[in-house]
């Protein structure tokens, strides 16, 4: 659209963002509604979309260790269910979502 009104566009940065879809303009200079001359360059920062991470395997890890693994991968612990069985106390016996699943960073697992 900028080219149709005689302006040039320059992408000065691409930033991961969970607020903006990939390809969306996050910011621009000069700002919207500024008076500019024909041929002027409009510098923009564009979203690369959210950071996508893979869920690590947490099965057979101590709960505290599994929590640390999630935090190191910028994920969070979600709903926890406790089951009584013959396995050692505090051991992760299953997970949802499964390991290898791609999710947005800062999701709960």
For the stretch 26-78, pLDDT in tens is 999 999 888 888 889 999 999 999 999 999 999 999 999 999 999 999 899 99
- Output the CA torsion sign for 55, 57, 59, 63: negative
Residue 12 sits in a domain whose CATH number is 3.30.10.20
Range of the domain at 64: 51-109
At 32 the pLDDT is 87
When divided into structural domains, the chain yields a total of 2
**26 and 79 together in one domain:** no
**60 and 100 together in one domain:** yes
At 61 the pLDDT is 96
**62 and 18 together in one domain:** no
Q: Exposed (0-12), middle (13-18) or buried (19+): which is 87, by Cβ within 10 Å? A: exposed
At 45 the pLDDT is 97
**39 and 62 together in one domain:** no
Distance (Å, whole) CA 107 – CA 20: 16
pLDDT digits (tens, 9 = 90+) for 2-26: 666 789 999 999 999 989 999 999 9
């Amino acid at each position: 659209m900028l080219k149709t009104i005689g302006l040039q566009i320059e992408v000065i940065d691409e930033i991961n963002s969970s607020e903006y879809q990939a390809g969306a303009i996050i910011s621009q200079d000069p700002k919207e509604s500024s008076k500019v001359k024909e041929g002027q360059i409009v510098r923009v920062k564009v979203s690369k979309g959210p950071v996508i991470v893979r869920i690590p395997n947490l099965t057979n890890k101590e709960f505290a260790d599994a929590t640390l693994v999630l935090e190191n991968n910028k994920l969070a612990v979600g709903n926890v269910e406790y089951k009584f069985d013959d396995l050692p106390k505090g051991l992760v016996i299953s997970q949802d979502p499964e390991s290898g699943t791609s999710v947005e960073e800062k999701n709960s697992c």
